[in-house]
Amino acid sequence: PVPLRELAARDGRDVGTAVPGPALKNYAGYREELAREFSTLTPENAMKWDAIEPERGTLNWTDADAAVDFARRHDMAVRGHTLIWHNQIPRWLTDGGFSREQLDGIVREHVRRTVGRYRGRVFEWDVLNELTADDGSGYRRSLWSDTLGPDFPARVLRWAREADPDAKLYWNEIAADGISAKSDRFYAFAKALKAAGAPLDGVGFQAHFNLDGVPKGFEENLRRFSDLGLDVRVTELDVALQLPADDTARARQADIYAQVVRACRRVDRCKGITVWGFTDRFSWIPETQPGFGDATLLDRELEPKPAYRAFAAAL
Ligand code: XIL
Distance 284 CA to ligand 1 centre (A): 7
Q: Are 278 and 296 within 8 A, CB to CB? A: yes
3-state helix, strand, coil in the chain (%, to 5): 45, 20, 35
Mean local confidence (pLDDT), 265-281: 97
Asked whether residue 25 carries a pLDDT value surpassing 80, the answer given is no
Question: ipTM for the complex?
Answer: 0.99
Q: Are 227 and 203 within 8 A, CB to CB? A: no
User: Domains in the chain, start-ordered, CATH in brackets?
Assistant: 14-233 (3.20.20.80)
**Ligand 1 within 6 A of 129 CB?**
yes
**Tell me, what's the pLDDT at 184?**
98
pTM (2 decimals)?
A: 0.98
Asked whether residue 116 carries a pLDDT value surpassing 80, the answer given is yes
Q: List Cα–Cα distances, 218 to 118, 180, 301, in angstroms.
A: 32, 10, 32
Q: Are 299 and 250 within 8 A, CB to CB? A: no
pLDDT band at 229 (very low <50, low <70, confident <90, very high): very high
Mean local confidence (pLDDT), 222-245: 98
Using CA atoms, how far apart are residues 56 and 106, in angstroms rounded to an integer?
10
pLDDT band at 27 (very low <50, low <70, confident <90, very high): confident
Of the candidates 209, 218, 284, 288, which has an alpha carbon nearest to the alpha carbon of residue 252? 209
pLDDT band at 24 (very low <50, low <70, confident <90, very high): confident
**Ligand 1 within 6 A of 284 CB?**
yes
Q: Are 40 and 65 within 8 A, CB to CB? A: no
Cross-strand pairs, 231? 202
HSE-up of 112 (CA within 13 Å, CB side)?
A: 9
Mean local confidence (pLDDT), 107-125: 98
Asked whether residue 311 carries a pLDDT value surpassing 90, the answer given is yes
Cross-strand pairs, 80? 125
**Tell me, what's the pLDDT at 22?**
76
For residue 49, what is the enclosing H or E element?
Answer: helix 49-52
Our mutation pick for probing the ligand 1 site, out of 134, 288, 289, 292, counting the most ligand atoms within 8 A of Cβ, is: 288
**Tell me, what's the pLDDT at 157?**
98
Q: Residues 6 or more apart from 79 whose CB is under 8 A from it?
A: 16, 40, 41, 42, 122, 123, 124, 125, 126, 235, 274
**Tell me, what's the pLDDT at 208?**
98
For residue 195, what is the enclosing H or E element?
Answer: helix 181-195
